[in-house]
Amino acid sequence: MLQTSDGGYLLAGRSDSGIGGDKSQASQGGTDYWMVKVSSSGGARIASEQELIAEEEHMEADFHLQADPNPFTEKITISFTLPQTEQVRLKVYNSIGLEVNTLFEGEAEKDKAYMFEWKATDQQPGMYIIRLGSESKVQTKKVILVK
């Protein structure tokens, strides 16, 4: 779950199973993923690809957060620069929102390039969220681990 710049939320989930329980459609092969945008007023709808790209581009303007390569197999390099010196936390969350790693926590200097490597060898394949947050803003990147 991620909060969007308009006060709504993006909700994401995945399934490796077929029809059953709340899932009414057969698997499309391997792992299936869903993403839903909930507006600030509480209404839900499926977010379009253009909206997701626009939201990610808007958020990138603040922290210049990058994650390469994406998708990745064993390790990924996460880098960022900040427009001002401030306290930040760089964390990794799995697809159900549980924190799996803290890559950096402390003061980051204005315009300094920071680079961290996350080795995900003990993690399951799937979507992960890289979250860079400060007191004033948060930026996220969706990354996919494949094995």
Instruction: Write down the pLDDT at residue 8.
Output: 75
Instruction: Write down the pLDDT at residue 45.
Output: 55
**Which residues of the chain, if any, have pLDDT below 70?**
5, 16-30, 32, 39-62
6/42 Cα distance (integer angstroms): 12
Instruction: Write down the pLDDT at residue 63.
Output: 77
Instruction: Write down the pLDDT at residue 55.
Output: 56
Instruction: Write down the pLDDT at residue 12.
Output: 76
Contacts with 29 (C-beta within 8 Å, 6 or more apart), sequence order: none
CATH number of 64-145: 2.60.40.1930
Q: What is the pTM of this model?
A: 0.60
Cβ atoms of 43 and 11 closer than 8 Å? no
Instruction: Write down the pLDDT at residue 41.
Output: 64
Instruction: Write down the pLDDT at residue 69.
Output: 95
Instruction: Write down the pLDDT at residue 37.
Output: 73
Instruction: Write down the pLDDT at residue 27.
Output: 64
Residues carrying CATH 2.60.40.1930, the chain: 64-145
Instruction: Write down the pLDDT at residue 35.
Output: 73
Classify 35 as helix, strand or coil.
strand
Of 44, 32, 17, residue with least CA distance to 95: 32
